[in-house]
Amino acid sequence: MGGLYPGTTGERMKTVDILLANAHVLTMDEGLHQYNPGAVAVSGDSIVAVGDDAALRAEYQAAETVDCGGQVLMPGLINAHTHVPMSLLRGLADDLRLDVWLMGYMMPVEREYVSPEFVQLGTSIACAELIRSGVTTFNDMYYFEEHVARAAAQAGMRAVCGQTVMKFPAPDAEAYEDSLAKARDFIRRWKGHPLIVPAIAPHAPYTCTAEILRATAEIAREFDVPLHTHIAETAGEVENMRSEHGMPVVPYVKKQGLLEAKVIAAHCVHIDSGEMRTFLHAGTGIAHNPSSNLKLASGFAPVTRMLETGLNVGIGTDGAASNNDLDMLEEVRLAAFIAKVVTNDPTSLPASTALAMATRVGAQALHLGHITGSLTPGRRADVILIDLSPLHNSPAFRRSADNVYAQIVYAAKSTDVSDVMVNGKWLMRQHQLLTLQEKELLGEAASLARRIDAFLVAREQSILSKLIALGGSMEQEAFEVQVKVKVADSQSVRDAMHRPTIEIVRYRHYGQHDVYFTFDEESQGRLRYREDDFLDEGGRVTNTRRRLTLLGRKREGRFEHDVLLSRTRFFAPATQGLRFYREYFRPRTETPIAKDRERWLIKFRDTEFFINLDEMQDPALGRFVEVKSRTWSRTDAERKARLTSELLAVLDLAKSETVASDYIDVVGMAD
C-alpha cells in the first residue's frame, strides 16, 4: 500500500495505486455527499479517500492518475436479484402467466439443457451485459451455482451466489437432499473468497417443503451466509398459502425458522404492513424487480411503504427470461416511476432515493453494506464512470444537488456507462470490456438457442411430450376393458352387488368433474382434467383429488356385448389448476362433464373389476353402469373382456342396451 514520500507543500504525501481525479463524485453515502470536482483514491482492492479534487491531489501521490474529464464517478450498481445463466433463455417464451412460463417452459428446458457449461456460458454473457450497464455486484440464484461463481470471479465481478434448493427434481439434483449437500459443499469451499459470497437459495415457499425451508435456514446460519429466496411474488401464491396453511407467506416462512438467517427476499409484491415489520425485526433485505413484476403482471410491490418501514430495499432485474434485459438503469427508472403511480404522488421515491436503492441500500439488502455500495474509505473500490455529455442527457443543471440524480435516473442510458472497476481492478475502460470476449460468447449462445428451438418445436408437436415435460410422477397404462350400460334404476345395481359370486373390496362415493381437451390433430388423443370430490355418508366433500390423463384415440376392438377395449396411455396427478393446463396445452375444444359416481372395486372369479354407477349431471344423460378393468397384457385384456360379459349377466345387465357407441357419439368420448 506504499510508504510515505515528501510532498510539494512540505507535508508528507501518501501513495496510492490509482487516483480517480477531476470527476463529479457521487458518494451515495448516508448523507449523499457530492464532490464536484472531486476525486477518489484507491489502493489495492479498497477506497482510501474520497473528497475534493484539489485536496486529494495534494494529499496523495498516485502510481496512476486517471483524469475522469468531469464524468460522474459513483459506486457501481447492485443488481439485487437475478438468475444470470438465464441470459441464454432470453426471449424463449414470453407473454405467458408466471406458472405456465415457469412450469411449462423454463423448468422443462432447464431440466433438458442446464449443465455446468450452460451455466458458465450464460453467466459470462450476463456479466458482459451487467458490466456494460454499470453493475459491479449481483445477487444470483440458479443451479450449478458454483459455476456461476467461477464465471463471475473470472469476469472480475462481485456476486452473491445462491445454490438453488427446491422440492422438484432440478437440473443439478434428482432430489432436494442432493441440492442441500451441494450447497453445503459449495459454501464451505467458497466462503472467504474476495469477490464471491456463497449463499443458499430455497427457490420459494411454494416450490419448497417446510422441511427444505428449515434445512436451508440451518445451513445459512451454520455458515453465516445469506439466504436468497422469492417471497409473495403473486397474489395467487398468497391465496394458496392462506388456504393451505391459514396464514400469509411471511408468517409461514418465519414459522419455519427462515428469518433467523440473513435473508434476501425477492419481490415481496403482496405483503402487508405486519409482514414488513416482521422483515424489519429479522433484518431481511428486499429485492424489488419492477420489470419482472410488470411483465408477469405480478402487481406493484409496496416499495414506498417498505422504505418508510425502514427496510433495505434493493433493485433487481430478475432473470433475463422475465425482463428481458439486465439493464439496471432502466430498473431504477421504473422503480421511481411505478412508486409515483402506485402512491398517486409524484414526490414518492425521488431520483436520489431510487439511485440509493441501486447502490448503498441495495448492498445493505444483500448484507454487504460494509463491503460495497458507497464511495466510503474502507469499502472496496467498486466504481463506475458515467458520461453525461450525450444528447439525451443534455443540458446539465447544477442548481440543486438533486439535478444530477434526476439526470442519471430519468435520462441516462446504460450505454453512458464508460468505465467499470471492481475490487480495484478495471473491468471496462472507455466502453471496452477487459475480462470477457463478447463476440465468441455470443456465437456459442446463438448455436445453443438453435438447439433449444428445435427441442421445443419437437415438443410442441406432441401433447404427450408436453405432458411429460411438466414432470411429476407419470404412470403408463396399457389396456382398459370397459362396458357402459344405461340403467333406469340404480337400486337394482346396488342390490346386485351383494350376489354371492361378487366380493366387494372397496366402495367410494364422489362427485366427478371432468374437462376433456381435444386437439387439432386427432392422433394426439384427448386429455382429461379430472377433479374427484370424495363424499362422506352425508354427501359432504372430504377431500379432492386432481388428475390428468392422456387418453388414447382409438378403440382397439369390440367384443361380445359391446365390450370396449381401449388404450389409456398416461396419467399423472394434476398439480396445477384447469386454467394452467388450458393455457399450456391450448386445446381446440373443451368439453366439461359432471357426474355423481359410486364406485365399487370388486373381485369376480379372482379378477378385479371396477363397477361405477354414474349419474350424469352435465350433460344430463341419465344413469349408467360401467364395468372396467385394466391390464398390461393384450391376452389378459381379451380374457377380461369375456369375463366382463359374464359379469354383466350376474348383474342382470346382459340383456340391457349397451350404449358405448351412443355415449361416445353424444359426449364425444369413451370413458
Residue numbers at the binding site for Zn ion (CB under 5 A)? 318
Angle between helices 176-190 and 210-223 (to 10 degrees): 10
- Other CB atoms within 10 A of residue 414 CB: 19
Question: Smaller CB distance to Zn ion: residue 157 or 296?
Answer: 296
C-beta separation of 532 from 547 below 8 A: yes
d(CA 595, CA 618): 7
Q: Could you write out the DSSP letters of every residue in 309-343? A: HT-EEEE----GGGTS---HHHHHHHHHHHHHHHH
Minimum CB separation of residue 275 from Zn ion in Å reads: 19
Closer Cβ to Zn ion, 238 or 408, answer by number: 238
Shorter beta-carbon distance to Zn ion: residue 50 or 358: 358
Kindly state the cell numbers that stand for 520: 387439432
Q: Helices (H), strands (E): how many in the chain?
A: 22, 27
CA dihedral (635, 638, 640, 641) in degrees, to 10, reads: 170
Give the nearer residue to Zn ion in terms of CB position, either 201 or 564. Answer: 201
As measured in angstroms, the least distance from the Cβ of 79 to Zn ion is 11
Q: Which is nearer to Zn ion, 110 or 318 (CB)?
A: 318
For the record, the C-alpha cell of 159 comes out as 456476486
Give me the residues paired with residue 502 across strands.
604
72-75 and 285-288 as β-strands: parallel, antiparallel, unpaired? unpaired
Residue indicated by cell numbers 390423463: 549
**Looking at beta carbons only, is 79 or 612 nearer to Zn ion?**
79
Q: How far is the CB of 235 from Zn ion (least distance, A)?
A: 17
Cβ closest to Zn ion, residue 238 vs residue 602: 238
- Minimum CB–partner distance for residue 81 and Zn ion (Å): 6
H/E/C letters for each residue in 519-583? CCCHHHCEEEEEEEEEECCCCCEEEEEEEEEEEEEEEEEECHHHCEEEEEEEEEECCCCHHHHHH
The least CB distance from residue 318 to Zn ion, in Å, is 5
Cβ proximity to Zn ion: between 172 and 318 the closer is 318
Least distance in angstroms from the C-beta of 134 to Zn ion: 21
Helix (H), strand (E) at residue 293: helix 290-295
CB of 316 to Zn ion, least distance (A): 8
Determine the residue with CB nearest Zn ion.
318
Least separation, in Å, of the C-beta of 98 and Zn ion?
A: 10
Nearer of residues 318 and 416 to Zn ion, judged by Cβ = 318
DSSP assignment, residue 380?
Answer: B
Shortest Å distance, C-beta 96 to Zn ion: 15
**164 CB-side CA count, 13 A:** 29
